[in-house]
Amino acid sequence: MLSWAERVKKDLANLNIESLGRVGVLLGGRSGEREISLMSGGGVLEALKSKGVDAHAFDPGLRCVTELASEKFDRIFIALHGRFGEDGTIQGLLELLDLPYTGSGVLASALSIDKIATKQIWLSNSLSTPEFEELTVDSDWDAVVQHLGLPLIVKPAHEGSSLGLTKVRSVEDLPAAFALASAMDKKVIAETCIIGDELTCPLVGFGETAEALPVIKIIPPQANYDFHNKYFSDETQYLCPTGLSPEVNLAVQNLALAAYRALGCNTWGRADVMLDQKTGLPYLLEMNTSPGMTSHSLVPMAAKAAGIDYAELVLWIMSQTLSTVKAKRI
C-alpha cells in the first residue's frame, strides 16, 4: 500500500493545474490571529503561484466578503485563523456562493473552534481530555480549584494561538485570568493543567480514510508556548521524530485521529496534545481546522518529515477541492 506521501506525489503528478481555475487565498481577516494569517496566506499564495496556479489574495479584514462573488474565483484556499475564518462563518458564506474551499465544513469548523463543545464531543466518544468547566462572573474560585486542581489553565473558548491564556498557580490569580480571557470572549474555559511533553499531530483526509502524520514534540523556552514563542521565537525547539517510543507516538496518533473523526473534520487539521509525565497517557487539548502555514508552522514540518515539501502540501490541499463531495462536508 502506498504511503500518504507517495499518494500525494502520484496525485500531483496527474493534476491538471488549469483545472483549479482562478483561486482565491483568504488571508488576514478580523480575528486576533490576523498577523499570523497574513503570514500563512502569504506563504500559501507564493507556493500556489510557484506551481503555476492562478492565485490571488483576498483579505476579508480589508474588503467586504460580498466582493468575493465579483472576483469570479473558482475555488478558495482558506488561510484564515480564528474567528470569522476558522469558525464556520466563512465556510457558510462560501457554501452559499457555491465556491469549493479547503478544509472542514461549517459544522466541524464551528464545533472545533469552541473548546467546550469540542471537549463535550470528545468525552461522549470516550476520548481523553483534561477536566474542565466553564467560568462565569459568578464562579466560586475556591470550588474551581478544588475541582481542577493547581496549576490550571484559563483561556477564551473561541480563541487560538494562546491568546488570552493564563497558567494559574494560585486561587488568588483566578479573577485576573478570567478578566483577561473574558475581555476576548463571552465564553471562558478553565481546565486542569497537564504537566508533561507538549505534542501536536497533524491529520489529513476525511472519515475512515483519514490518517495521522508524524507527531511533533514542542520544547518552548521556560516551558512557555505563548504567542511569541509559537510564531516568532527561534528558541522554541521542534522534534520530529519526537524521540518518544514508537508505542507512545502511535497512541498519540490514534487519539488525534479519533478526535479528528469525532468532530467530522475534512482534508486537514492538527490536534494539540499533552503527554502526562506521571501516567504517560496523552490528553487532547484542541483541534485546529485551519492550521498555521508560516515558517514556524507544524503541519508543513510534519509533512516534510513524511516526504512532502511546503509547496507540494499547499497544492495537494488545494487539489482536494476538486473532489469535494458536498454531501460529506459537515
Residues involved in catalysis: 33, 161, 231, 270, 272, 286, 288, 292
Please list, in sequence order, all residues whose beta carbon lies within 8 angstroms of the beta carbon of residue 24, skipping any fewer than 6 positions away.
55, 56, 57, 58, 68, 71, 73, 75, 76, 77, 99
Of 112, 108, 40, 99, the closest CA to residue 71 belongs to 99
For residues 93 and 100, give the distance between their C-alpha atoms in angstroms, rounded to a whole number.
11
Which amino acid, one-letter code, is at 130? P
Joined together, the cell numbers standing for residue 58 give 483576498
Rounded CA-CA distance 16/134 in Å is 49
Contact 283, 31 (CB under 8 A): no
What type of residue is 153? I
Closest CA to 109 of 94, 124, 99, 98: 94
Reading the block at residue 190, the C-alpha cell is 478553565
Looking at residue 189, the DSSP 8-state letter turns out to be E
3-state secondary structure of 309: coil
Of 257, 295, 322, which Cα lies nearest the Cα of 36? 295
161 near 227, Cβ under 8 Å? Answer: yes
DSSP 192: E
